[in-house]
Every structure is written in structure tokens, then in C-alpha cells.
Chain A
Amino acid sequence: MKDLVEIRWHARGGQGAVTAAKFLAETALAGGKHVQAFPEYGPERMGAPIQAFTRLSTEPIRTYCSIVNPNVVTVLDLTLLDVVDVAQGFLPDSVLIINTSDKPSSLRGKLKLKGGKVFTVDASTIALEELGKPIPNTPMLGALIKVTGILGLGEVVKHFEEAFEGKFSPRVIEGNIKAIKRAFEEVKGE
């Protein structure tokens, strides 16, 4: 893991991106990292485009602003591509992960993206099948840890069980863990 990894989450209100951004930071903390996670606060409406941010580092984090040159961008909702410049500040070695059933190469074409790496995962379908709801945050998390290697699947599953025990029913926790594992396996690169 590089000294500092900056992750930007694009989603719509209600898709769980803020929870995922925070959960990722909390899991990394349990692994000894310095962490920061925060949403961009705005009109908090279901369906409105939102951003959330996660910073993970081996050193204390002192920067207090949003992420404009992300190492990793996740897009939880495909319809955002027409509304938001999800590739803003994309670097030659950045990683873009999009929730879609489409192939990475066609997304690269649509975004006219040069450089970096594009991955896709059908997080909504996975969530629908495993949770009964198309909330794509946990499968996106599974895809993210697979393609970046910033955290192990075991760490994430263990922390998920600990963090949500008593808050969610065992069935919901199990469904989320299945979704994380499936996305971890099913995420496609170029």
C-alpha cells in the first residue's frame, strides 16, 4: 500500500456510499492505518448526486479538504456519468470502478478516458440477488479491495461482522458478506 491512498466515492443519496466510505476507513484503522472519511455535505435528498471521501495512510493525515486527484474512484450509479465528471482529476495510475454490467472497455470509451485502469462490477444485480435490495455499497467495497489490494477480504468480512452485529439481522449481515465476496470474485478489468 502506498503511503497515502485517496478514494472518491460517487453515488446518489440512499445508495450507502457514505457508510461505505466510513466503513472502509474504520476497517483500515483496525489494521493500524491512519484514516479519514467524510461526505461532501449538501442537500441530503434520496437520489441526489453525492460524493464521499476516504483517505488511508501509514502517516498521520493533516489535509482537510475534498479529494481532487483520487487514486481510486468508485461510481455506484451509472446514470451519474451523464451528470457528474467522475473522472475529474484522474491520474495516469488512478483506478476507476463502476457499477455496471457493461465491459470496462466500453466505459473507457464512453468516458473518453486516457490512462489509468477501469474496472466494472454489476454491484446492483449482486445486491439485488444477495440482499433483495439494489443497494450497491457493499459489493462495491468488495470490488474495491480486490482491485486495489488495500485491504484483505478476510479483514473486511471480519470487521463487517463485528461492526454490524446487533444492528442488522444475521440474514442481512450474511447477505452483505456474500455480496462483498461475489463482487470480489466478479469484478472485471480491461
Chain B
Amino acid sequence: MAKLTEKIVAITGNAAVAQAMRQINPDVVAAYPITPQTDIAETFAEFVADGLVDTEYVTVESEHSAMSACVGASAAGARVMTATSSQGLALMWEILYIAAGMRLPITMTNVNRCLSAPINIHCDHSDSMGARDSGWIQIYSENAQEAYDNVIQAIRIAEHKSVLLPVMVNMDGFIVSHSIERVELLDDEVVKRFVGEYKPVYPLLDVENPVTHGPFDGLGGFYFEHKKAQIEAIERSRKVVLDVADEFKRISGREYGCFEPYRLDDAEVALVVLNSAAGTSKCVVDAMREEGYPVGILKLRVFRPFLARELSEALKHLKAVAILERATSPGSFGPLYAEIRSALYDLEARPKMVNLIYGLGGREFRPEHAKEAFGVCLKVAQTKRVEKPLGYLGLKEVEVIS
């Protein structure tokens, strides 16, 4: 690792997450060791082989098995982590719901990459957006530093007694996962103290106090009530996310909320963005502000739980908002747009809103795309009319044979 000091290093997003996992030193990591797995699992396997962690590393034969092993280990009472990406997350699908429904505080990093077909390995958010109803808390990261910080905070959020839910930390595939950046690491001891010792609530391995996990809960049972309890738990996580962020600021000096407004207070139009596109868009905001344009950004960090009230409060003063989306829901709008638009429904006066799809399959999001998005917003603000609620940024001009 190249370093400026012991703590300031130049590493990729994947390596930053692997470092966080080394410092957290989980009891069990279960991962599928080949494509579409990430360097996170590979680097962490080296840490295990080198004896830098005490983790039981379970290499399984598929991502479905990886999440299944995580579920078993977590129910047994272990602190469990894993990583995945793209098709891997898709294959974990049914077990994601089981992890959340069994209230298992597993922390997983997902390197956001698109789903086939056509075959493509590059960044978009189709993988995690598809998992949005699975009951996992979802946190998004602009860069390698945020991915590192979010993974450490995720442990505390997941394991909080009032939450007990799995957390998925997302970062952009290749753009952040494979890019070398300056990252400030915390001391091993500081992270160890911050995450603390894991005390499972109802571990299967506590044979003195036998419990049952995951039994049938049919018509005469409490499936519905369990789901209600799960909904309440993720509602409670809103406060926990902020409390953990406060504590994290004390050890790191870095500030986190559920979302990050950037030059938003006095803006008239804004973009809502996730992950690395936020960084590129911030540069464009600064440049356009120089020219006198009233533009700003809202970067969403926590997508699940969805902060409808807080988001409507943060966006209500704007004249026009573009929701930038690196995923689609064919036949409808993008998921982020649908939810944010719905969150603003009860306001007396609402901004006009457009949905702009960008960057599918890793298509590059460049400053000119952010500029184009602001252009759309400024025009909507001026005319007070949305001509096309769904648009695309960076689409090649070809005849599409549909």
C-alpha cells in the first residue's frame, strides 16, 4: 500500500473495503470466490491466509450459497460479513429476504454493476435497486473513503438492538471499486473499539437458552406481525443511522447524514444523485455557480429506509428537480424518481420533476451530462412545464430497433 502516512494511503475502493473488514475482524465471511465476485473477497482471503484476522472464511460454490452460509453463521451468533456484485447479488435474491426476515445483522458490500443481458460487466445500479424491497438497509458511497467509512458504520447500524437488520453498502463498480484514490484509514484500535464486541441477541449456539430460528409461520401464525415488526425495525434505523454517524464523526472528523445537500439551500434547481455521479456533479455545480446559475445537488446516502419527509423538506423550495438514475424499471420510471416524486405529493407547492436515466452498463457520466441535466431543469423551471418526464443522458444517437 502506498502511503503518505500510516493512515493516508492510495488504494482502490475494493481495497479500502477489505481494509475496513480487516479492522472489523468479523467471525465469519462466506463468499463465492470467482466472478462476479470482487477484489474485496480476494484481498480479505489474503488477510485470512496471512493470519491478520481471526475470521472463519467459507468459500462456497455460488452466491446463493454464500448468503445462505452467512444466514446460518449469523443465526448461530457470529458477526458476519460478505461482498458481492451484479449477477452475484441477483443470485442471492431469495436469501436476501431470509436474512432480513430473520433479523440477521449481516453487513455486505455490493459493488454496483449492471445485470445481463446483454452481457456487460460495468457499473450501474440495477443490482441493488432490484434488491430494494428485500428488507436490507441500503447505504450508497460516493468514493472509496465513503465506502470504507460506511462499512464501519454499517456494523453498528445492523447490530443495534433496536434494528437487527442486514445492511448493504454500495459503491460504483470500476469507477470507484477499481480506481486508486487517497483514503484516510482509522487506526485498527479505533475501529475495533468503535464496532465493539458483538453480542448476539438469540444465538443458536447458546445451548443453555435454546431458541428456534426460521420455522414455519403460516395461517395460524404471525407472519404478518413479523413483517410489521421488520417494518418498524427499519423505521427505527433512521435514528440509529444518524446516531452512529455522530459517533463516527467523533473518531474520524468526517460527517455523514442520510443525505448530503450540496449548495442546495439557495438553489432553484437541483439534481438528486447516488454514488460517484455526485462527485462529478458537484464540480459542475461549482462551475455553473460561477456563471450565476442557481444550481445544487442532493446526494442520497441512505435509500433504505427511505426518508420521504426529510427529502420533501430538503427539496420543497426548488422550482425543478431532475432525478438522475443509473437503473431502469422497464415499463415505468426509475425507482428513485417514483419514490421521491411520491414523497413530495403532499406538499402544497412542489417542484417540477423529471427522471433522467444515465450510465447504464457503465456508459460514462461526464460533466457535460450533469450540465445537460441542469439545462433541462432550468428550462422546466422557466417554462413551468415538463414536456418529457423521462429522458436519457449520454444515449448514442442510433436508430433503436425495438
Contacts and interface: CB of A to CB of B under 8 A. Distances in A.
Contacts, number: 76
B181 A35 contact: yes
Contacts of B181: 35-36, 61
A103 to B, nearest CB: 35
A38 B283 contact: no
Interface in B1-28: 2-4, 8-10
Interface in B268-316: 276-277, 279-280, 282-283
Contacts of A64: 143, 172, 175-176, 179, 276-277, 279-280, 365
A39 interface: yes
Nearest to A28: B10
Interface in A30-71: 30-39, 41, 60-66, 68
A180 interface: no
B178 A38 contact: yes
A150 interface: no
B366 interface: yes
Among B4, B143, B176, the one with the most A-chain Cβ atoms within 10 Å of its Cβ is B4
Contacts of B283: 62-63
Among A25, A38, A63, A64, the one with the most B-chain Cβ atoms within 10 Å of its Cβ is A64
A37 B280 contact: no
Contacts of A172: none
A115 B69 CA distance: 61
Interface string B340-374: 00000000000000000000001011110000000
Contact of A66 (B176, B277, B364): B364
B122 interface: yes
Interface residues of B, number: 29
B176 A35 contact: no
A84 interface: no
A108 interface: no
Given A41-B178, A62-B282, A64-B175, A29 B2 contact: yes
A25 B122 contact: no
| B interface: dominant SS | mixed
A6 B122 CA distance: 23
Interface in B108-154: 121-122, 143
Given A26-B10, A41-B178, A65 B366 contact: yes
B144 to A, nearest CB: 10
Contact of A29 (B10, B122, B172): B10
A29 B4 contact: yes
A15 interface: no
Contact of A36 (B179, B282, B365): B179
Interface string A8-38: 0000000000000010011101111111111
A30 B277 CA distance: 27
B175 A29 contact: no
A84 to B, nearest CB: 17
B180 to A, nearest CB: 4
Given A37-B180, A38-B180, A65 B10 contact: no
B192 interface: no
Among A31, A38, A68, A159, the one with the most B-chain Cβ atoms within 10 Å of its Cβ is A38
Interface of A: 22, 25-27, 29-39, 41, 60-66, 68, 159, 163
Interface of B: 2-4, 8-10, 121-122, 143, 172, 174-176, 178-182, 276-277, 279-280, 282-283, 362, 364-367
7 contacts: A29-B10, A30-B3, A30-B4, A35-B181, A37-B179, A41-B122, A61-B182
